Amino acid sequence: MNYTTQMDAAKKGIVTKQMEIVSRKEQIDVEKLMDLIAKGKVVICANKNHKSLDPEGIGEGLRTKINVNVGISKDCPDIENEIEKVKKSLDLKVESIMDLSSFGKTEEFRKRLIQISPAMIGTVPIYDAIGFYDKELKDITADEFLDVVEKHARDGVDFMTIHAGLTKRTCETFKKNKRLTNIVSRGGSLLFAWMELNNKENPFYEYYDKVLDICEKYDVTISLGDACRPGSINDSTDASQIEELIILGELTKRAWERNVQVIIEGPGHMSLDEIKANVLIQKKLCHGAPFYVLGPIVTDIAPGYDHITSSIGGAIAAANGVDFLCCVTPAEHLRLPTLDDIKEGIIASKIAAHAGDIVKGIKGARNWDYKMSEARRNLDWEEMFKLAIDPEKAKRYREESKPKHEDSCSMCGKMCSMRNMNKILSGKDINILRDDE
> Which stretches does DSSP call E strand in 71-157?
96-99, 120-123
Residue 437 has pLDDT above 70, yes or no: no
380 within some domain: yes
125 within some domain: yes
- Are residues 298 and 403 located together in one domain of the fold? no
pLDDT for position 436 = 65
User: Which range marks the domain in which residue 397 is found?
Assistant: 367-425
- Are residues 109 and 228 located together in one domain of the fold? yes
Average pLDDT over residues 82-105: 96
Residue 103 has pLDDT above 70, yes or no: yes
292 is in an annotated binding site: yes
pLDDT for position 434 = 79
Average pLDDT over residues 147-171: 98
334 within some domain: yes
In Å, what is the CA distance from 371 to each residue of 362, 368, 388? 16, 5, 10
- Are residues 164 and 198 located together in one domain of the fold? yes
69 is in an annotated binding site: yes
| CATH at residue 208 | 3.20.20.540
Contact at 8 Å (CB) between 212 and 111? no
- Are residues 310 and 386 located together in one domain of the fold? no
133 is in an annotated binding site: no
- Are residues 309 and 390 located together in one domain of the fold? no
AA identity, residue 279: V
pLDDT digits (tens, 9 = 90+) for 66-83: 999 999 999 999 999 999
226 is in an annotated binding site: yes
Residue 212 has pLDDT above 70, yes or no: yes
- Are residues 73 and 142 located together in one domain of the fold? yes
98 is in an annotated binding site: yes
pLDDT for position 220 = 98
Average pLDDT over residues 172-198: 97
Instruction: Indicate the number of domains in the chain.
Output: 2
pLDDT digits (tens, 9 = 90+) for 355-370: 999 999 999 999 999 9
Average pLDDT over residues 53-66: 98
186 is in an annotated binding site: yes
189 is in an annotated binding site: no
Contact at 8 Å (CB) between 186 and 248? no
User: Which of 315, 336, 360 is where one domain is finished?
Assistant: 360
10 within some domain: no
DSSP 165: T
- Are residues 301 and 383 located together in one domain of the fold? no
- Are residues 383 and 347 located together in one domain of the fold? no
Strands 57-59 and 42-44, bridge-based pairing: antiparallel
113 within some domain: yes
308 within some domain: yes
- Are residues 401 and 265 located together in one domain of the fold? no
Separation between Cα atoms, residue 26 and residue 57, nearest integer Å: 8
120 within some domain: yes
217 within some domain: yes
pLDDT digits (tens, 9 = 90+) for 281-328: 999 999 999 999 999 999 999 999 999 999 999 999 999 999 999 999
Separation between Cα atoms, residue 232 and residue 300, nearest integer Å: 6
Average pLDDT over residues 232-246: 98
Q: Which helix (H) or strand (E) holds 65?
A: strand 65-70
412 is in an annotated binding site: yes
